[in-house]
A and B are shown apart, each in its own frame.
Chain A
Amino acid sequence: MRPTAVGTPVDRADARSKVTGTACYTVDVVLPDLAHAVVVQSTVPTGRIVRIDAAAAERAPGVLGVLSHANTPSLAEVPTFPQGPAGQRRPPLQDDTVNFDGEHLAVVVADTLHHAAQAAALIDVAYDREEAVTTLEAGDELPPSGIFGEAPDSVRGDPEAALARAEVRLDATYTTPTEHHHPLEPGATVAAWDGGRLTLYDSTQWVSGVRDAVAMTLGMATDQVRVVSPFVGGAFGSKAMVWPHVVLAALAARHVGRPVKLVLSRAQMFTSLGYRSPTVQRLSLGARQDGTLTAIVHAVTQQTSVFEEFVAGAGYISRSLYACPNVAVRHRLVRVNAPTPTVMRAPGEAVGSFALESALDELAAQSGVDPVALRLRNFAEDEPQEGLAWSSNALRECYQVGAERFGWERRTTEPRSMREGRHLVGWGMASATYGVHSEAAAARVRICADGRILVTSGTQDLGTGTYTTMVQVAADALGVPVERVTAALGDTDLPPAPHSGGSQTAASVGPAVWSAALDACSKVLALAEQGDSYAEILTRHGIEFVEGRGDARPGASASRFAMRSFGAHFAEVQVDPELGEVRLTRFCGVFGAGRILNPKTARSQMIGGIVGGTGMALTERTVTDRRLGRVVSPNLSGYAVPTHADIPWIDVCFIDEHDPHVNALGVKGIGEVAIVGVAAAIANAVHHATGRRIRDLPITPQTLL
């Protein structure tokens, strides 16, 4: 079947409902007799609850009930899933301990949101406060037990000896701050019980993960829980796992005997859905005079909560991006009285690439080699850690095409050598890479006698375009126009699919849809000779519809090939040399990410990732008071994400890449690779503009004065 929909810029299937305001997100769900829950959080970073007085709240107008550790049943710990740890495994409201500021301590349920909020303010908590560790610097470093099944430390070759012998050496420490995802839609759950059955409407990246975790926590059979999530107002990792407020919504609904809606406030978003851990990264490079890498040592310190472990593999990028015989990677954790961190867009690579790609730029300057030439010199012909061949690797084309589109050859070598009026101009670049992931997924395709085709899967669309790509894949498999196909997703009653994270949705669900469509097609064709339309055949046979099912799972290629997406970022900044203001003025990102199912949705997603990286580089940081262990200014003026005015025209280009090994569709995934390297490209451009090497994010006027 020749593709006519896949690879073309089909309009987003859900766009109409979104531009008219009719798309129903979890926060918009209304059920008969719906009550509202408001969460009360701790205001100290550690200690014991001496007293939690809910009497006044319980008497307040409209209040239906209050839950705290005093009246919450015992709950089971959420297990670690094979795909990684849950958001927070420790269930809420189980005892009188406080482990971080902003931990859920109580839930107030009332007939209206206004009443619930009023009553929540009346909950009076007294603490016996204890000494807290509130910063990464203040605690002891411990080795993590593992990172998504991998060893935290690894060594290949003899990096120390290679460093000692290196002609050029670099040793630098880079830091990144706590960052928050801040999807525009806050975390939200609506819970409704029907006897022993629970339905959860949840803003989530993983309906079946929520179902399994909540069932386990509440001691229910999995098939007694249904999770529905047709629209998710952004996520970026914050909704990839399962967080305690979801369970609280279910408990609250059971407690008051009514459906309950629980929406986190923006302030609560700072402590309730994880965050990107701050990092301290020490990077040592050894190289020959011509820039050929001989040693990389990448040591990363991050934080986790005092009660459980989460760590992103920030150093791993240093093992697989460049050919280098001697590489050591080390990860350490400090336990801090803070929430458990979690995955955030390109966990690991996003921050690890800031250190590695900044260091490469420093090496380029030190050895007098052009930054692009330096990277080409160190290009890895095979995957360097395992020695496997690449399933495909368009990194060299990314450099070349990006350099051409950006006009890189016109870059002058010396810092402070390019100007535009009073502004210093700087050009910087960086590489990007992210692993190809996929998991088992299932889909169903129904062909109806009236000509309509319905494709379904229990996957999610976070705004990434899953509805649209499901329609495109099914349409091509069946040889019908996309207008005939509709998609449904975000429901555990549909065939199971994995969590939408790690850029794996299209690579997992796409092949399942493809195979389901072929299955349905073959069932129709079994009824009659080719040449008639599906509808004609079904009508002739008096059949209302046929249904095909597709199951896809990662193939055996993973053991034979190394599979990654690659990219190259080119950034231009203008810096006001007196005032220190940095503005991004031009950006070009080029990606080799396998087959692009929909260039329209894909381009927008890449731009979004680049802007996420721009925020990392220039504006985003969560500030915590180190004595109080409490976030300062937990709102969207305290945490500045880029605005329209911060973002220039961004040129995005995909290398035409056909990878026969990754999966049936040749899809590698795009959501994460877009952000990897962006902050480094901008920091490198700032260095080129000013001669100042900024190793601590974000880069602000303060750092450049």
Chain B
Amino acid sequence: MTGNHPLAAESETYELSVNGRREQVKAAWLGESLLAVLRERLGLPGAKNACEQGECGSCSVFVDGVLVCSCCVLAADAVDAEVTTVEGLADGDALTDVQQSFLDAGAVQCGFCTPGLVVAVHDLLDRNPDPGDLEVREAISGNLCRCTGYGRILAAVEAVRDQRGRRSRP
């Protein structure tokens, strides 16, 4: 998706790599947000649209391993990248340790912010295996939650941190 070709609106067919699968996007407009393409064209509703402008984190996904708000990324900028959504985190029916911990800790209520938070917590703990309390709270402050009051989410994150720490110790 490089080069200077102007792309007439909606005439384009392009490919995205999402959760390890090549997906064709047909007759689409490259100026669409990645979130819109995931939800409206690829049938992946896990990433949620709650604020439309990067203010809530509910649409968090990985693009080439980088945590972003998919509502502010144009689909065209994800064309040569690997996109991972909440649907692609777990291996088959198994839950990831973060997902399991959210369930165990009671970190879920309405669940609308949960997919974005789960993705953001994976990002945090993959980059920083031993974050302190303040680091955790700052690192997931880009994900607004209106139901849980964050307390149990923090407990879920710390449980995964401790569990991974125990595993990695000799």
Residues of chain A whose beta carbon lies under 8 Å from any beta carbon of chain B: 9, 11-12, 14-25, 27-28, 30, 61, 112-114, 181-186, 231-236, 263, 265-266, 462-465, 600-601, 603-612, 635-637, 641-645, 647, 649-650
Lowest 4 CB-CB distances: which A-B pairs, in order? A21-B46, A463-B110, A18-B111, A233-B112
CA distance A235 to B112 in the complex (A): 11
> A15-B103, A644-B150 are known contacts. Are A463 and B55 too (CB-CB below 8 A)?
no
B residues 31-82 in Cβ contact with A at 8 Å: 32, 36, 39-40, 43-53, 55-56, 58
Of the residues A12, A17, A113, A608, contact of B40 by C-beta under 8 Å: A113
Q: Inside 8 A of A605's CB, which chain B residues have their CB?
A: 109, 147
From residue A30, how far is it (CB to closest CB) to chain B in Å? Answer: 7
Contact with A along B85-127 (1 / 0, CB 8 A): 1110010000100011011101111111111001000000000
CA distance A16 to B104 in the complex (A): 10
From residue B54, how far is it (CB to closest CB) to chain A in Å? Answer: 9
Q: Inside 8 A of B118's CB, which chain A residues have their CB?
A: 19
B148 within 8 A of A: yes
> A183-B110, A608-B109 are known contacts. Are A12 and B103 too (CB-CB below 8 A)?
yes
CA distance A600 to B154 in the complex (A): 14
CA distance A61 to B8 in the complex (A): 14
Q: Inside 8 A of B50's CB, which chain A residues have their CB?
A: 184-186, 233, 266
Question: Number of B residues whose C-beta is below 8 Å from A?
Answer: 60
B160 within 8 A of A: no
CA distance A348 to B76 in the complex (A): 49
**Is the Cβ of B148 less than 8 Å from the Cβ of A608?**
yes
> A636-B55, A644-B137 are known contacts. Are A9 and B106 too (CB-CB below 8 A)?
yes
Residues of chain B whose beta carbon lies under 8 Å from any beta carbon of chain A: 10, 29, 32, 36, 39-40, 43-53, 55-56, 58, 85-87, 90, 95, 99-100, 102-104, 106-115, 118, 134, 136-138, 140-154
Q: Inside 8 A of B110's CB, which chain A residues have their CB?
A: 183-185, 231-235, 462-463
**Is the Cβ of B113 less than 8 Å from the Cβ of A184?**
yes
Q: Inside 8 A of A600's CB, which chain B residues have their CB?
A: 106
Q: Inside 8 A of A641's CB, which chain B residues have their CB?
A: 144, 146
**Is the Cβ of B56 less than 8 Å from the Cβ of A604?**
no
Q: List the B residue with the shortest CB-CB distance to A610.
A: B149
CA distance A610 to B152 in the complex (A): 13
Q: Inside 8 A of A22's CB, which chain B residues have their CB?
A: 46, 87
> A183-B112, A610-B149, A611-B150 are known contacts. Are A604 and B86 too (CB-CB below 8 A)?
no
Q: Inside 8 A of A12's CB, which chain B residues have their CB?
A: 103, 106, 108
CA distance A14 to B48 in the complex (A): 17
CA distance A649 to B134 in the complex (A): 11
7 more CB-based (< 8 A) A-B contacts, given A183-B112, A644-B141, A647-B150: A12-B108, A15-B103, A19-B118, A20-B86, A465-B109, A636-B144, A649-B154
Of the residues B53, B95, B137, contact of A19 by C-beta under 8 Å: B95
Q: List the B residue with the shortest CB-CB distance to A651.
A: B151
**Is the Cβ of B53 less than 8 Å from the Cβ of A635?**
yes
CA distance A23 to B115 in the complex (A): 10
Q: Inside 8 A of A607's CB, which chain B residues have their CB?
A: 148-152
Q: List the A residue with the shortest CB-CB distance to B137.
A: A644
Q: Inside 8 A of B90's CB, which chain A residues have their CB?
A: 20
> A113-B36, A114-B29 are known contacts. Are A185 and B48 too (CB-CB below 8 A)?
yes
CA distance A181 to B50 in the complex (A): 13
Q: List the A residue with the shortest CB-CB distance to B111.
A: A18
Considering residues A20, A182, A463, which has the most beta carbons from chain B within 10 angstroms of its beta carbon?
Answer: A20
**Is the Cβ of A645 less than 8 Å from the Cβ of B141?**
yes
From residue A26, how far is it (CB to closest CB) to chain B in Å? Answer: 11
Of the residues B36, B45, B85, contact of A28 by C-beta under 8 Å: B45
**Is the Cβ of B48 less than 8 Å from the Cβ of A644?**
no
Pull 21 A–B residue pairs with CB atoms less than 8 Å apart, ordered by A: A11-B106, A15-B108, A21-B45, A28-B45, A61-B10, A114-B29, A183-B146, A184-B50, A184-B110, A234-B112, A601-B109, A603-B151, A604-B148, A607-B148, A607-B150, A608-B109, A612-B149, A641-B146, A645-B137, A647-B150, A650-B149
